[in-house]
Structure formats: C-alpha cells, structure tokens
Amino acid sequence: MRVKIHHEGNEILLVMLGIMAAVCVPMWLWVTPVSWPIAVSVVLGIIFLLTLNFFRSPRRKFEGDINNVVVASADGKVVALEEVFEDEFLHCRCIQLSVFMSIFNVHANWFPVNGVVEAVAHNKGRYQAAYLPKSSTENERSAVVIRTPDGNRVLVRQIAGAVARRIVTYAEKGTEANIEDHLGFIKFGSRVDLYLPINTDINVKIGDCTVGGITPVGRLNPPT
C-alpha cells in the first residue's frame, strides 16, 4: 500500500514549516538556556508530524469480488446503521451507514461503488459534532449521487464536524465513479454517510472500524 501526502495539505504544511523556522532559528541563535529552544522545537515538531499524518493519502486497491460491492468511503468507525427515508435526492427508504473519522484517521474519501456520478450538491450548515445523528441534515455537507451499472442509486454525503471547516468534493456530474479513486477530502474530524438501497446486504455493524476503499461494507442486489 503506497502512502503519499495529499495535495490538500501542501499549503498548510508549508506555512507550518515557515512558522517553525521563524520561531526556532532565532531561539537557537539567541535564547539560553538551550533547554528552551529544545522544548519549543520538540513541541512544534510533534504538531507538524501530527498534521503530516493527518494529510497522508494512501493509494489503495480493492482485492475482493468487485461485482456489486459497496466499499467504505472513509477510514473510521461505524456510528449509525439504520433504515431511513432519504427525501433530498433518493426520495425512498434506504439503509443509512455512517462512518465517523477522528483526527487520526485518513481523511481522503473514496467512491463507494462503481458507476456514473448523477448529481453533486453542497449545502451550508452548522458545525456540530459529526457523530451526532442530526449532523447528517444540519451540518455543512456535500452530497454525491452515483448510479451503478445495474441501475442502483447510491448517495454519499460528506459532513463537516465540530473541527472540520472545509469539505472538498472532486466528483463531477456525468463523470465515472471508481472505488479506487478519491471522491473528496474533509479537513479535520468529520463523517461520511452512505445511503444504500433497502435490499443491500450489509457486512458491518455499529462499532466496526472501516478502511476507505478497502472494507466491503455491503453488496448491492438488483433494483426492485
């Protein structure tokens, strides 16, 4: 599994390096005792490494049976799995499967199914804790609807959290969706909801941990 730094982090990391240099170099030149420059350098170094870890962007390849599979869109923990009525795009009863990402998870998001992007939308909203159920409809969010080759429609919703302040969505209407490709990125703790057809076979339960682009969370059946 190859890991690189996501381009969404380039600007932030460069700014952090500049701040570290501006703070640490003068301290090493003029501040005594030396324990102060050491302490400040260590603290700033740890913060930089944590940020670097946040923006890691592994390239992943699903190795299982790709036929009608639904893979996790995000790294994290399953916090919701229930039947709901999705009335914004699908207008039908669905299975909602929600994965919460902590600041320690990879924050790139993957397409959950292969198909064609049918719709993309962004809604402004609040910044409540992303693990709360009402965050799905009240927080800032982006939605992507994908139609699979068999005619199933799957909704992916990227949701901002209490810390997240920017949702980036790469999906564009009419383009191809592939489970090996990034759908988008969310900067700092957040959540991704999948809305799946009601007859989907689900392979996970609440509390399970998922790996985006790898974990098969379900398998679609022919549309009814």
Q: List active site positions.
A: 190
Bridge partners for 2 per DSSP: 59
Six token digits for residue 210? 């998922």
DSSP 139: B
Sign, CA dihedral 122-125-130-135, equals negative
Q: Which of 156, 208, 216 is nearest to 186 (CA)?
A: 156
- Report how many helices (DSSP H) and strands (DSSP E) the chain contains, helices first: 3, 16
Confirm if 176 and 80 have CB atoms less than 8 A apart.
no
Backbone angles phi, psi at 140, to 5 degrees: -60, 140
Give the DSSP H or E segment for 210.
Answer: strand 209-210
What's the DSSP call for residue 7?
G
Paired residues of 99 in beta bridges = 78, 192
According to DSSP, residue 200 is labeled P
How far, in Å, CA of 12 to CA of 53, rounded?
A: 13
